[in-house]
Structure formats: structure tokens, C-alpha cells
Amino acid sequence: MSGPHPGLLMFIGARYVEQRINDAVVAAGFEDLTPAMARAAARLREDGIRVTDIAEQARITKQSASALVDQLERCGYVERVPDPADARARLVVLAPRGRAAQAVARREERAVEREWRRHLGAERMAALQDALVALREVTDPYL
């Protein structure tokens, strides 16, 4: 019919972005940051997040999330601080090193976006963004 399935095309695109960002972060000297750690770290907010929430958003068990946070903590990317609102919980917050790595990742993300825009033109890029956002209503149970 109309060529490859959009799902496959999205997979290719998503893999490309992840690879680009990972390469950039590693090249910037953060060599101990694995893709899985990065995926977990991507959920971090300024005001901290609970391990359980990371797990839920990333669709992994809290044990897996906890192990990844362990690694991130050991490598100095994050810290665990007590949650003032709930004595059972602890908040995962970015440490300075994590903040630096995140800046590199965001910069690369923007670079990829610029390249795509240059390749597609502003119009088609906007159409892509629009369609993807709209699709999210169907494909993302978190929203």
C-alpha cells in the first residue's frame, strides 16, 4: 500500500535520537552513563521525584527503577534526599554532575530537532509534531 508501517518508521526515528543523545553524552565525558540509566534520569524533575514514580512512568518495576537510581547515585548523577512530605519516601534529585549531563543531552536534542527541521522544512516539521502530539491521545495511557 503506502510503504512501511508508521510504527516502524517511528521506531527508526526514536532509535536514532536515543543513539545521538547517548553518543553526545558519552563524548562529553559521561562514559559511565548507560542508556537505561539515561532513560530513568530523563524522568527527573527540578523538585525531585520518587523512585516509584520513575518506575511507573518508565513502565518498569520499582525494583528495576531502584537499581538504576542506585547506579546513578554511585556515579554521582543524582542524590536521594528525604521527602519532607512523606517519611516513607525519598526524593531523587539531580546532583551537579547529573545537571551537567542533562544539559548536554538537551543540547543534542535541540540539535537533532534543528537538523530534522532543516531536512523537512518548517512546514512539514510542524505537521509531524502536530500529528505526533495528537496521536499521543491514543497511544499514551499517561494523558
Partner DNA sequence: CATATCAGTCAGGGAAACTGACCAGTCGAG
Partner DNA sequence: CTCGACTGGTCAGTTTCCCTGACTGATATG
**If DSSP codes are grouped into helix, strand and coil, which group holds residue 11?**
helix
For DNA, which is the closer residue by CB, 53 or 117? 53
Asked if 83 touches DNA (CB under 7 A), the answer is yes
Told to check if 105 binds DNA by CB under 7 A, we report no
∠ at Cα 7 (142, 60), nearest 5°? 40
Which of 17, 26, 60, 95 is in the footprint of DNA by CB under 7 A?
A: 60
* Among DNA, its own copies, none, partner that 83 touches (CB below 5 to 8 angstroms by kind): DNA
Q: Site map for its own copies, 96-125, x if CB under 8 A?
A: -------------x--xx-xx--xx---xx
Cα diameter, the chain: 57
Query: Exposure string (b/e) for 96-114, b if CB count within 10 Å is 16 or more?
Result: eebebbbebbeebeeeeee
Does residue 23 interact with its own copies by CB under 8 A? no
17, 36, 60, 67: which one binds its own copies (CB under 8 A): 17
Letters for 18-57 (x = contact with DNA by CB under 7 A, - = none) are ----------------xxxx-xx---------xxxx----
Q: What is the Cα gyration radius of the chain? A: 17
CA distance 86 to 93: 16
Strands ordered across the beta sheet of 90-94: 49-50, 90-94, 78-82
* Min dist. Cβ of residue 78 to its own copies (A): 20
Interface residues with DNA (CB under 7 A)? 34-37, 39-40, 50-53, 59-64, 66-69, 71, 80, 83, 86-91
